[in-house]
Amino acid sequence: MTPAVYDAALQIRKKLLSAASAILELLEKDLVYSEGTISDGTNTKKITIQEVIDKMNVREIVAAGARNENPKGYMINSFGAQFAEVEVDTETGRVTVLKIVAAHDIGRVINRKLLENQFHGGIMQGLSYALLEERIMDEYTGKVLTTNLHSYKMPTVMDYPEIEVITVGESDNMISAVGAKGIGEPAIIPTAGAIANAIFNATGLRMKSLPITPDKILNEIYKL
């Protein structure tokens, strides 16, 4: 979304510069925009954005921005690695995720707080996919039996592990004008694999179906 927002913002700026050019009686190419003020570069003639809008006498300024297509001849991918630390109770089969570390190449960081929120949300979706969410269907009727949050389990705040976010890489302007990559889905994808590998490291049990529920853990233990 950010490349489209950036494109729309550039169009709005051009409209404001055009209006300021008429107000200040200067060529548009000679105007400089900085921190909400348009000037001739020497501050001999200047005007604020608010003043330009007031003199334009309009209720709104509209622009439609778009994200350009990916560059031809280049592959645009996200890259990342995630690590999980778990505890497995071999008497009950319960798996507790203690910590997830996520390191991803996400290009330019535009808003660190929002970026970390995306990581946390994606990781918790991956954890839920790995350990809890299970769609059970009646094999005779095809009816879904897990139709509510009592039978279709999802994580709560009590299941939240420690999450460490590591950002790798720099702005990649081949991707877009803002040089940022998405992180919502990439944060989800490696989580289940990391948790399954951590369970294997802890118990020697290679779990091959999701979700990894306590009954599956106990069935594998009793096979040994």
pLDDT of residue 121: 95
pLDDT of residue 42: 80
Q: What is the Cα–Cα distance from 221 to 89, expressed in whole angstroms?
A: 11
Q: Following DSSP, what letter does each residue of 8-20 receive, concatenated?
A: HHHHHHHHHHHHH
Percent pLDDT > 70 in the chain is 100
What are 41-68's pLDDT values in tens digits? 787 888 998 899 888 888 888 999 998 8
Question: Which stretch of 67-71, 112-116, 200-204, 207-211 has the lowest confidence by average pLDDT?
Answer: 67-71
**What are the structural domain ranges in the chain?**
2-56, 79-223
Confidence of residue 70 (pLDDT cuts 50, 70, 90): confident
pLDDT of residue 224: 59
Q: Is 162 a catalytic site residue?
A: no
pLDDT of residue 25: 87
At the top level of CATH, which class does the domain 79-223 belong to? alpha beta
Question: Which stretch of 11-25, 32-46, 139-153, 183-197 has the lowest confidence by average pLDDT?
Answer: 32-46
pLDDT of residue 69: 85
pLDDT at 222 over 90: no
Written in H, E and C, the secondary structure of 174-215 is CCCCCCECCCCCCCCHHHHHHHHHHHHHHHCCCCCCCCCCHH
For 152, how many CA atoms within 13 A lie in the half-sphere containing its CB? 10
* Active-site residue (options: 162, 164, 170, 185): 185
Q: What is the pLDDT averaged over residues 186-205?
A: 96
CA 28 centroid distance within chain:
38
pTM of this structure: 0.81
Say which residue, 112 or 170, is predicted with more confidence: 112
DSSP reduced 3-state for 217? helix
Provide the β-strand partners of residue 180.
Answer: 107
Q: Following DSSP, what letter does each residue of 100-162 receive, concatenated?
A: EEEEEE-BS-S-HHHHHHHHHHHHHHHHHHHHT----B-TTT--BS--STTTS----GGG--E
What are 90-133's pLDDT values in tens digits? 999 999 999 999 999 988 998 999 999 999 999 999 999 999 99
Q: What is the Cα–Cα distance from 29 to 42, expressed in whole angstroms?
A: 14
Q: What is the pLDDT averaged over residues 28-47?
A: 86
